[in-house]
């Protein structure tokens, strides 16, 4: 910490997942395997979609972008966690912590928006098949993907600015394995009630709103399939089922974590593993199998 008129935190200590040496080696192995699966599975999807002319539909175009986001999203936390587990070095500079928080929410929010766009793609393909080509044209797909990235950037910028305005002058121990809002905001040397509600209304409501839109799209698709049963519709419905599994893995823990003020109760760092590591692993398995 640097001393001026008041002490200011210049680094945080990430306590990680466990202090036990044996468990640290176990977690390192699990994270290494998980990260390797994320890289290999999502890279395989990207290469396959880009090289196979038959996979030129909007669904595979969006899936390719989802795989790219998953690779970047996992790379924000997994490599540093593995280094900390192996070396025991748990300190992270204040600037590095804020950067990790920014990119985590930038990529995570972009993925939520992209999953919502993918649900719209499936809804259009099943419920409005005659207009599908016109609605999901190449230019429209690029515009939707750009909107997802832009929405994620705006969301993450707001979250990071709110965090940077808080004073940190006391404890610097984060009870987690990565920098995120709920554990960090508890370390601020000020009344954070308003900031907590602003953050909950930002991250929490975005997660909940996207999830409700997805549920509504699935309900409409189920109603359509029930009224018009055909082999093509059932094939499309199977794609929606896999999409629903990926959505549940990502949105459920995010809503649980962010749709409440940070100071109400501690965040379970093991639940965070689901949406930071496990969900990016399952996406390529669910969508390919």
Residue linked to tokens 């018009």: 228
Distance CA 210, CA 247 (A): 10
SS3 of residue 56 by DSSP: coil
CA distances from residue 147 to 57, 87, 136 in whole angstroms, order as listed = 19, 40, 14
Contact 96, 220 (CB under 8 A): no
The whole-number pLDDT of residue 74 equals 93
State the Cα–Cα distance between residues 116 and 253, nearest whole angstrom: 17
Q: Mean pLDDT, consecutive 10-residue segments, the chain of 289 residues? A: 55 83 86 92 91 86 92 92 85 92 94 91 86 90 96 93 87 86 86 82 86 86 68 61 76 83 63 83 74
The tokens for 150 are 């832009």
In the chain, what is the straight-line distance between the N-terminal and C-terminal CA atoms, in Å?
51
Q: Which two tokens stand for residue 100?
A: 């990790």
User: What token pair was written down for 174?
Assistant: 């984060």
CB-based contacts of 50, cutoff 8 Å, min separation 6? 64
pTM over the 0.85 mark: yes
185: tokens are: 């905001």
In this prediction, residue 264 carries a pLDDT of 53
CA 192 to mean position of chain CA atoms: 25
Rounded to 5 degrees, what are φ and ψ at 183?
A: -75, -30
Which residue, chain included where needed, has tokens 């990790």? 100
Class at the top of the CATH hierarchy for domain 11-288: mainly alpha
């Amino acid at each position: 910490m640097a001393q001026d008129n008041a002490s200011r935190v210049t680094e945080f200590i990430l306590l990680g997942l466990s202090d036990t040496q044996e468990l640290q080696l176990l977690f390192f192995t699990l994270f290494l395997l998980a990260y390797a699966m994320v890289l290999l599975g999502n890279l395989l999807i990207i290469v396959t979609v880009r090289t196979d002319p038959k996979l030129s539909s909007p669904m595979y175009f969006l899936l390719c972008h989802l795989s790219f986001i998953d690779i970047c999203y996992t790379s924000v936390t997994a490599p540093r966690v593995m280094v900390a587990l192996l070396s025991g070095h748990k300190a992270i500079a204040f600037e590095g912590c804020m950067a990790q928080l920014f990119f985590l929410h930038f990529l995570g929010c972009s993925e939520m928006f992209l999953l919502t766009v993918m649900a719209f793609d499936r809804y259009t393909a099943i419920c409005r098949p005659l207009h599908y080509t016109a609605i999901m044209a190449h230019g429209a797909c690029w515009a939707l993907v750009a909107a997802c990235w832009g929405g994620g950037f705006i969301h993450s910028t707001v979250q990071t600015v709110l965090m940077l305005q808080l004073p940190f002058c006391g404890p610097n121990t984060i009870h987690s394995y990565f920098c995120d809002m709920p554990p960090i905001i508890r370390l601020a040397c000020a009344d954070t009630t308003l900031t907590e509600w602003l953050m909950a209304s930002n991250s929490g409501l975005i997660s909940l709103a996207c999830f409700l839109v997805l549920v509504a799209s699935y309900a409409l698709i189920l109603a359509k399939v029930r009224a018009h049963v055909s082999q093509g519709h059932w094939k499309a419905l199977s794609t929606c089922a896999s999409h629903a599994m990926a959505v549940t893995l990502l949105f459920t823990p995010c809503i649980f974590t962010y749709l409440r003020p940070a100071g109400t109760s501690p965040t379970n760092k093991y639940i965070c593993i689901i949406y930071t590591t496990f969900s990016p692993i399952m996406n390529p398995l669910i969508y390919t199998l």
